Amino acid sequence: MTLLHDPGQRTEVGLLRPMDAETSQDFIPAGLAALGIEADEIELAVIGAAHQLFWPPILELLSFDTSAIPVERNLDLSQAPPS
């Protein structure tokens, strides 16, 4: 049996390490190319600016430790949360 995930390896939602500057420069064009989307320099600049704006808070949310928060069983979203 082959394990896809090593339980002893701690990762934050599958992210092994933060993206360095060189990798992030290729990340956006490669992702668009994989989807078959062509983008000119202006579009890549806008996407890059949005990435720089939103990626740090996303990483912060992904690293947020929720282990101390109790799990809500039988969650009923039609009701207010218990106090």
pLDDT, one tens digit per residue, over 4-56 is 555 555 555 555 566 665 566 678 888 899 999 999 999 999 988 998 899 89
Contact 20, 70 (CB under 8 A): no
Nearest to 64 by CA among 10, 17, 13: 13
Q: How confident is the model at residue 7, as a pLDDT?
A: 52
β-partners of residue 12 are 15
Q: Domain residues of the chain, as ranges?
A: 31-62
Q: How confident is the model at residue 28, as a pLDDT?
A: 83
As a whole number, mean pLDDT of residues 53-80 equals 89
Q: How confident is the model at residue 2, as a pLDDT?
A: 47
- Token digits of residue 20: 């360095």
Distance from C-alpha of 3 to C-alpha of 76, rounded to nearest angstrom: 35
Q: How confident is the model at residue 80, as a pLDDT?
A: 87
Please report where in the chains the tokens 């989307």 appear, as a residue: 37
Please report where in the chains the tokens 């992702």 appear, as a residue: 31
β-partners of residue 15 are 12
